[in-house]
Chains A and B, each alone.
Chain A
Amino acid sequence: MIYAIRHTTRFLYEAPVRFARCNLRLRPIDWDGQKRERYHLDITPHATISTPLPSGYPANTVRVVVDAPASELVIESRSRIVVNRPMPQILPDDPSVGEIARLARQVRDLSMTAPANYMFASPMIPIEPSIVTWCAETVNRDDGIVAACFALAKRIKAEFRYKSGVTDTDTAPIDAFDRRTGVCQDFAQIMISGLRGLGLPAAYVSGYLRTLPPPGKQRLVGADATHAWVLVWCGPARGWIGFDPTNGIMMAGDHIVAAVGRDYADVSPIDGIFLGRNGQRVDVSVDVEPIEEETPRPTRKRR
């Protein structure tokens, strides 16, 4: 499948902003089962674009500096991504949860996708004992890793209520957990906190979902905005497998990875600073359109 993605962010300031510097992590990375074909970034007013020092996580960061006073900043990111990712299978000889935790501690690798980077608490995702206890009810030491994580994703989807406006970007995982309510970011953080608490390497993904479902399918939640889900390291043989607790599914052909990190702070599409007074509004619109179907994939049946 080839997707055309248009991601527009509009900042409106009450008073003109004198100087803004932002990090954009909008250009989707290449990842297992997906490749970027084209990319275009448009910023108005004119901005200086540079490549900062690498962040150390799988994300394409560009630095944007707007020097002239501006009361509106529009960032439009357009990409064309080929996705060819089969639905992951649950295999009888998948390593167990306990085995994955043990292997993860031993891997002699500190590169950006090494499991060691994703098995500890991170700035925005502390390991919360009550979340860990809750997750341990579903994820047992002896379960196969893929089956266990899929079960956890489905349980979050079943037991939590999707509602926007209740939580915020900086809502702590434990607050959303206690309310059993939130959006994709909260669900991903809760799942990650629980899995890490059990010793498993779990990463945070920002990305996109196909906006309109294929005929006969349900529209996925989170498709009209940037989406977030979870990657779990499933051993050297299976590598990183994606789980989407918001929709209770695994990552396959409808998910497009934009960036991967320990938590939102590593992958946030736009962050930065400006010099000015308070009072800004942000509008985001995301459109993910399939351009053409590739050859039919047998794995789709599993849905």
Chain B
Amino acid sequence: MAELPGLPTRVEGWIASYLAQAGEGDVMRGDMGRGARWWNSLLEGVAGLTGGRLALLQERVERQINEIGTAFRLPDESEERPWPVSALPLLIGEDEWRGIAEGVTQRAALLESLLGDIYGEQKLVADGALPASLVAGSPHFWRSMIGIDPPGGHRLHIYAADLGRGPDGEWRVLADHVRAPTGAGYALENRLAASRVMGTLQQRLHVQRLAGFFSAFRDGLAAACNRADPRIGLLTPGRYNQSYAEQAHLARYLGLLLVEGEDLAVREGRLYVRTIEGLKRIDALWRRMDSRFIDPLAFDATSAIGVPGLMDAVANGTVIANAPGVGVVESTALGAFLPVLARRLTGQNLLLPNIATWWCGQENEHALVRSDIDHLLIAPAFGGRPGGLRDGRARLGAEMEGEARRLLIEDMERRPQDYVGQEVVRLSTMPAMLAEGTPLPRPFTLRVFAARDGVGNWAVMPGGFARLSDTADIRAAVIGEGAFSADVCVVAHKPVEQVSRLPAGGKVAIRRNPGTLPSRAADNLFWLGRYLERGEASLRLVRAALGGTIDADSGAALAPETAKRVATLLVSSGAVPEKEEGEGITDHGDVRALAEAALDGRGIASVKTLLATVRAIGEGTRDRLSAEVWRLLDTGPPPEGAKDSGALLDRTTRLQERFSALAGLAAENMGRTAGWRFHDLGRRIERGVLICRLLRTFAPDEALADDLTTLLDLCDSQISYRSRYLSGLALEPVRDLIALDPFNPRSLAYQVERIGWHLGVLPKLSDDGMPEEHDMIAADLAGSMATATAARLSHTRIVTIENKFYALSEAISRRFFLQGSESLRAAGMTRLA
């Protein structure tokens, strides 16, 4: 947008109004004070992109965030929420960043050597540099890890620190994260969303890229493994975990297998993943699960999400990143000791200071905190909920009054080791995009990530994410409770080399197959196919039922017998619950009610139920679905509106379009991998079963013309029939087209042929040349097709074929999938009396 010469530009106006509100320690104010121009460039660029409307930028970034599928879940909620993000990134100059990166690197190295001592010789404890109770007080200290050397030599592969910037511009470490640091994926997603919106603006700002960090992390994991080209999994607690979306995204981005405990097995002290080709070795796991749950035999015996015997595999060289038990160095109280430990273990002072901390487990420090309580923040020393801070949150001593203060002091007297006093930090501010549409200064913290690279050095992600808050103490705010995130960009003074995303040529072996398909993924894709097909079938039935009512007055309604058959099928297919079955369907109103129930009711095959089912399955296998497929699955049912036949029919049409889109994506966009084959097998088997049911219902020897028309409609074969037969409807030609014609993609014979083709390509378990059970059933089905004739397709004969489909589905489950009914259970613990 053109600006008039001589007048202050729009950007200057933004800056002026922002600076008028920003306090001393504001980041943008500070940078500009030092003469840095990147904020100006950012705002100018943004103004250019949006025609001067900042709110537009926010809108676009939010749309991208939705597009990428970034979401997270709050504890105790089953629905994911979109990730709240502020469109303006935090810009940090490369000079300032270098200080941060060096400090974070030092700290990661320090924590590694500290862990080496705690789980090794324990010299620091013996000579008093590290109190024993400071170690044992951590709920993440696992004695069973003492003396276990980490395969590959390192306990830490990834590390994250939360930093706060004081008004003086000094960065301090607020918290360390080593167990399963979350957020690297969010940082990536924030950046992705921002780059899609800002395009080349980021390059013009010389923003350093993130991709190198992720490949360094993967290289580091691979380097720790015993085998070249190792198989690495990301161990997730499952789709109900808060950061499951991030895990799925990262698994895909890093090329890791997304696995749950159930997918893995330990045999003879080695770790394997259950795949459609049997057990396959796994070399390393990036765990996003607390140590406590990863192995019920080594840690919490009641864990149902872990891998029994995993620790035995670790003893034989399986890499777990980060190693179990590392959480012991996350304790807030440790901050009191790190300055001294840094000098002792690294020979240097801490480059990034901690927030000043006094641990009350020491007598002098306890006394000091007691006497200065009104000027300190009182926090749990090891997390948890000590008796004086029962909600587990840090509190300002000065704000604790009356009974709360009495309880705190009493418990600090009894268990001083559970408390720390900390300096009260003030955080500096950065520009945030809020609803107002202009940037406003808001306090923030910064999460920085470091990962070990292929030679064991620490690589720091040039960026990360900032958490912004409206409250003064941002640490109390969890994302989603009023806080939001922003991308963090490290801006270089010179252009950034554009090499990072593509690995050096020749380094990566070309492969055309994404690797072995885990059984659970195969299972999910198979059932996704079956349920999607079932959903389509229910919709066709609904359409047939409604179609039969709509034209009633013009005389085009279905014959009552046919309408009744449609209704019966709605019930027997499970689309309408049994109890709603009208014993005598007497008028069209009854049929309309059945159709409505099949759409919105609670039947096991109602469209509503099936939509929920496919969404749940899709979520569990999200790392293998494209964003488009997931978005379609994740869309809720269209809003219920009027209940008359016309409105229901409209809604049916919209739903049918959605299912068709999903079928189209599967047919045209999915890679022809084993995963696709299972998905397609699911569809074919479901369709086969359905056609049998339809044939039984609508094509008996005494079928009416309306029955045959309905059958052709339900099988989407109306046009094929008319192009083959000009003479009108007749039983045997219809039967042949629907059952036996291999050229009709909606025929039984076609499904059988495709099934045989898929099974022929899928891996065999045995090498003795003997057919497996599912192969035999498929061959048997093909035989039934080859020898059948339209004239002799009796009811019994169709039932026999139908049963073969069921048997085939079960045989495929037994051979390729996890045995769900035989899941892991805790052996009954015996009672002490």
CA of A112 to CA of B312, assembled, Å: 21
Query: Quick check: B415 and A197 within 8 Å, CB to CB?
Result: yes
Residues of A within 8 A of B135 (CB): 110, 116
Q: Distance in Å from the Cβ of B785 to the closest Cβ of chain A? A: 37
8 Å CB interface, B118-151 against A: 122, 125-128, 131-133, 135-137, 139, 142-148
Residue A211 interfacial (CB < 8 Å):
no
CA of A170 to CA of B292, assembled, Å: 17
Query: Quick check: A284 and B830 within 8 Å, CB to CB?
Result: yes
Residue A18 interfacial (CB < 8 Å):
yes
Interface size bracket, A side? 35 or more
Query: Quick check: A52 and B298 within 8 Å, CB to CB?
Result: yes
Query: Quick check: B132 and A116 within 8 Å, CB to CB?
Result: yes
Query: Quick check: A170 and B302 within 8 Å, CB to CB?
Result: yes
Residue A269 interfacial (CB < 8 Å):
yes
Residue B390 interfacial (CB < 8 Å):
yes
CA of A292 to CA of B824, assembled, Å: 45
Query: Quick check: A273 and B308 within 8 Å, CB to CB?
Result: yes
- Set A110, A224, A284: member contacting B831, Cβ < 8 A: A284
Residue A54 interfacial (CB < 8 Å):
yes
Residue A295 interfacial (CB < 8 Å):
no
CA of A169 to CA of B824, assembled, Å: 19
Residue B301 interfacial (CB < 8 Å):
yes
Residue B507 interfacial (CB < 8 Å):
no
CA of A226 to CA of B829, assembled, Å: 12
Query: Quick check: A275 and B824 within 8 Å, CB to CB?
Result: yes
CA of A170 to CA of B828, assembled, Å: 11
Query: Quick check: A123 and B830 within 8 Å, CB to CB?
Result: no
Q: Distance in Å from the Cβ of B828 to the closest Cβ of chain A? A: 5
Query: Quick check: B830 and A282 within 8 Å, CB to CB?
Result: yes
Query: Quick check: A282 and B415 within 8 Å, CB to CB?
Result: no
CA of A53 to CA of B312, assembled, Å: 8
User: A260-293, CB under 8 A of B: which get 1 and which 0?
Assistant: 0000110011111111111010101000000000
Query: Quick check: B832 and A274 within 8 Å, CB to CB?
Result: no
Residues of B within 8 A of A112 (CB): 143
Q: Distance in Å from the Cβ of A203 to the closest Cβ of chain B? A: 12
Residues of A within 8 A of B415 (CB): 127, 197-199
CA of A119 to CA of B387, assembled, Å: 14
- Set A11, A197, A275: member contacting B414, Cβ < 8 A: A197
Query: Quick check: A9 and B131 within 8 Å, CB to CB?
Result: no
Residues of A within 8 A of B300 (CB): 123, 265
CA of A274 to CA of B819, assembled, Å: 13
Query: Quick check: A184 and B301 within 8 Å, CB to CB?
Result: no
User: B257-298, CB under 8 A of A: which get 1 and which 0?
Assistant: 000000000000000000000000000000000001000111
Query: Quick check: B414 and A53 within 8 Å, CB to CB?
Result: no
Query: Quick check: A272 and B126 within 8 Å, CB to CB?
Result: no
Residues of B within 8 A of A226 (CB): 830-833
Residue A129 interfacial (CB < 8 Å):
yes
Residue A107 interfacial (CB < 8 Å):
yes
Residue B21 interfacial (CB < 8 Å):
no
Residue A36 interfacial (CB < 8 Å):
no
Residue B589 interfacial (CB < 8 Å):
no
User: Which residue of chain B lies nearest to A271 when distances are taken between CB atoms in the complex?
Assistant: B301
Query: Quick check: A227 and B417 within 8 Å, CB to CB?
Result: no
Residue B361 interfacial (CB < 8 Å):
yes
Query: Quick check: B827 and A105 within 8 Å, CB to CB?
Result: no
Binds B, one of A39-47, A55-63, A86-94, A231-239: A55-63
Residues of A within 8 A of B301 (CB): 23, 265, 268, 271-273
- Set A22, A109, A129, A271: member contacting B387, Cβ < 8 A: A129
Query: Quick check: B832 and A227 within 8 Å, CB to CB?
Result: yes
Residues of B within 8 A of A218 (CB): none
Interface size bracket, B side? 35 or more
Residue B554 interfacial (CB < 8 Å):
no
Q: Distance in Å from the Cβ of B386 to the closest Cβ of chain A? A: 8
Query: Quick check: B128 and A108 within 8 Å, CB to CB?
Result: yes
Residue B384 interfacial (CB < 8 Å):
yes
Query: Quick check: A225 and B831 within 8 Å, CB to CB?
Result: yes
Residue B825 interfacial (CB < 8 Å):
yes
Q: Distance in Å from the Cβ of A28 to the closest Cβ of chain B? A: 14
User: B174-213, CB under 8 A of A: which get 1 and which 0?
Assistant: 0000000000000000000000000000000000000000
Residue A104 interfacial (CB < 8 Å):
yes
Query: Quick check: B833 and A55 within 8 Å, CB to CB?
Result: no
Q: Distance in Å from the Cβ of A158 to the closest Cβ of chain B? A: 19
Query: Quick check: B297 and A110 within 8 Å, CB to CB?
Result: no
User: Which residue of chain A lies nearest to B831 when distances are taken between CB atoms in the complex?
Assistant: A169
CA of A169 to CA of B144, assembled, Å: 23
Residue B315 interfacial (CB < 8 Å):
yes
Residue B32 interfacial (CB < 8 Å):
no
- Set B136, B417, B825: member contacting A117, Cβ < 8 A: B136
Query: Quick check: B309 and A21 within 8 Å, CB to CB?
Result: yes
User: Which residue of chain B lies nearest to A109 when distances are taken between CB atoms in the complex?
Assistant: B132
Residue B404 interfacial (CB < 8 Å):
no
Residue A120 interfacial (CB < 8 Å):
yes
Q: Distance in Å from the Cβ of A13 to the closest Cβ of chain B? A: 10
- Set A23, A102, A183, A198: member contacting B833, Cβ < 8 A: A183
Interface centre among B302, B387, B826, B827 (most CB of A within 10 A): B827
Query: Quick check: A55 and B414 within 8 Å, CB to CB?
Result: no
The answer to whether A119 and B826 touch (CB under 8 A), given A101-B414, A108-B127, A127-B387, is no
8 Å CB interface, B93-128 against A: 122, 125-128
Q: Distance in Å from the Cβ of B151 to the closest Cβ of chain A? A: 14
User: Which residue of chain B lies nearest to A278 when distances are taken between CB atoms in the complex?
Assistant: B825
Q: Distance in Å from the Cβ of B193 to the closest Cβ of chain A? A: 40
Query: Quick check: B143 and A52 within 8 Å, CB to CB?
Result: no
Residues of B within 8 A of A168 (CB): 831
8 Å CB interface, B381-429 against A: 382, 384, 386-387, 390, 407, 414-417
Query: Quick check: A199 and B414 within 8 Å, CB to CB?
Result: yes
Residue B787 interfacial (CB < 8 Å):
no
Interface centre among A11, A22, A199, A224 (most CB of B within 10 A): A199
User: Which residue of chain B lies nearest to A223 when distances are taken between CB atoms in the complex?
Assistant: B833
Residues of A within 8 A of B133 (CB): 104-105, 107, 116, 119-120
User: Which residue of chain B lies nearest to A246 when distances are taken between CB atoms in the complex?
Assistant: B833
Query: Quick check: B143 and A55 within 8 Å, CB to CB?
Result: yes
Residues of B within 8 A of A56 (CB): 142-146
Residue B513 interfacial (CB < 8 Å):
no
User: Which residue of chain A lies nearest to B390 when distances are taken between CB atoms in the complex?
Assistant: A129
8 Å CB interface, A129-151 against B: 129, 132
User: Which residue of chain B lies nearest to A118 when distances are taken between CB atoms in the complex?
Assistant: B136
Residue A1 interfacial (CB < 8 Å):
no
Residue B333 interfacial (CB < 8 Å):
no
Query: Quick check: B822 and A275 within 8 Å, CB to CB?
Result: yes
CA of A55 to CA of B122, assembled, Å: 17
Query: Quick check: B822 and A227 within 8 Å, CB to CB?
Result: no
Residue B311 interfacial (CB < 8 Å):
yes
Residues of B within 8 A of A108 (CB): 125-128, 131-132
Q: Distance in Å from the Cβ of B274 to the closest Cβ of chain A? A: 12
Residues of A within 8 A of B126 (CB): 108-109
Q: Distance in Å from the Cβ of A7 to the closest Cβ of chain B? A: 10
User: Which residue of chain B lies nearest to A114 when distances are taken between CB atoms in the complex?
Assistant: B132
Residues of B within 8 A of A184 (CB): 832-833
CA of A169 to CA of B826, assembled, Å: 13
User: Which residue of chain A lies nearest to B128 when distances are taken between CB atoms in the complex?
Assistant: A108
A9-B830, A104-B133, A269-B832 known; 20 new pairs, CB 8 Å cut-off, are: A11-B828, A52-B311, A53-B148, A53-B311, A101-B414, A114-B132, A119-B137, A120-B139, A120-B382, A127-B415, A132-B387, A184-B832, A185-B832, A268-B829, A269-B830, A271-B826, A274-B825, A275-B825, A276-B825, A278-B825
Q: Which 8 A-B residue pairs are closest in the complex by CB-CB distance?
A: A56-B143, A225-B833, A116-B132, A116-B136, A271-B301, A228-B832, A116-B133, A272-B827
10 contacts between A and B (CB under 8 A): A23-B297, A55-B298, A56-B142, A119-B133, A123-B292, A198-B414, A226-B831, A228-B832, A271-B301, A272-B297
Interface residues of A (CB under 8 A from B): 9, 11, 18, 20-23, 52-57, 63, 101-102, 104-110, 112, 114, 116-117, 119-121, 123, 127, 129, 132, 164, 168-170, 183-185, 197-199, 206, 222, 224-228, 264-265, 268-278, 280, 282, 284
